Structure 1
């Protein structure tokens, strides 16, 4: 059975709240669908620049809509998204994504660590309106994610290395090469073919394409009602 599992690659950046929604849904479906979920931390700034896309903050009507949209989606998906008090002042995520990349690189095969660190960073910025740029902030996220305190300093040093900078750049370029223009960017590998999906509102179609069943944003609750 393991040999027939469908690989799904999730490209994301914690700067994007919509990527958090996609992240949580795919994590919930790991044991519902027959999939091998692979996290691909990348840099949203590089995607926007490389694809020629514009930030919602540069399109006034889109920016106004985004706040209302996220409030509704937070309830629907059961993800504690709370928009920062001053979204326009949110700083970049480059340091955070290098840190996540360092975790992925140093703890290969331990996807749970990448998952937990990513989630804690999303919670800092999109639930707590907290910083994700300073080493102390990254360290706190790592501790809450369950990383050993004696390893976090090593991870912070690794995150600033040329190796990790190049790895993050390479993953971002891979997403661009696969057609990315924003996050979440999802690649499903099915029967030797790649199916690309953008956003957190394509899961019903995704399920159809990979031969699985969509049970809503919280499949465990749906199953309990059946």
Structure 2
């Protein structure tokens, strides 16, 4: 008899490049580890404010390090990550509130399969962290949605839904849920097993995470196990 699947929740915001790294690695590992991966789109600005954290852009040395760090991580994780021409503006001045409301609306329409929220999130990450494009305007959400496989009518419906109070409340609720786990930034990964929640911050804790959930970390690009005859 196989053991029950462990639930792994990923709290993320598409404005966070480190969240993209964690997102892609967990997507690669969900069929390697015995996990049920749940996407939890939230608002990084709300978590930073609620936890009293400071963004790297206000600490010059930290900001300079981040740019170099992302170049190394892009190569290691094999993810086309390239900082935008003005990272501070893209991450902190323009913000991601409307983008995460759009992702939250997709998640609400995609509660069962989680395929569309995965695709839409990836397309938005690509826009800001690969091709240096906007993620704040409705036209940007439309383009990301269409590339993710949504129809024109579906995108229009989700754009309208994203403006609704229930979606705004849902985003606030999930953001507060992250804060309740004492989250102070993204990605925040919560592993549930045996009635206990283990919380991990960042995209560099996979080896420790694997140890805690009884799985094995084999690098950023695992080979899917072959079926036994």
Same-fold status (TM-score > 0.5)? yes
Question: How high is the TM-score relative to the length of structure 2?
Answer: 0.95
1:23 corresponds to 2:23: yes
Q: Write out the 4+ residue segments of structure 1 that deviate beyond 6 Å after TM superposition.
A: none
Matched residue, 1:211: 214
Q: Report whether the alignment pairs 1:7 with 2:7.
A: yes
Unaligned segments of structure 1, at least 5 residues? none
The one-character-per-residue Cα deviations of 1:161-189 (angstroms, maximum 9, x if unpaired) are 00000000000000001010000000000
Give deviations 1:21-47, integer Å, cap 9, x for gaps: 000000000100000000000000000
- Scaled by the length of structure 1, the TM-score of the pair is 0.96
Aligned equivalents of 1:64, 1:2: Cα separation in 2 = 47
Cα distance in 1 between the residues matched to 2:17 and 2:77: 12
Shift of 1:3: 6.7
**Structure 2 residue corresponding to 1:136, chosen from 139, 164, 167:** 139
The number of residue pairs the alignment matches comes to: 223
For the structure 1 residues 125 and 2, does the alpha-carbon distance in structure 2 shift closer, same or farther, using more than 3 Å as the test?
A: farther
1:154-193 to structure 2, matched below 5 A, reads: 154-193=157-196
Q: Distance in 2 between matches of 1:112 and 1:215?
A: 25
Tell me which of 210, 215, 220 is aligned to 2:223: 220
2: distance between equivalents of 1:86 and 1:197? 29
Q: Which residue of 2 aligns with 1:153?
A: 156
SS of residue matched to 2:128: helix
C-alpha separation between the residues in 1 aligned to 2:2 and 2:201?
27
Aligned counterpart, 1:126: 129
Aligned partner of residue 155 in structure 1, secondary structure? helix
- Counterpart position of 2:89: 89
| Gaps in structure 2 of 5+ consecutive residues | none
SS of corresponding position for 2:53: coil
Partner of 2:71: 71
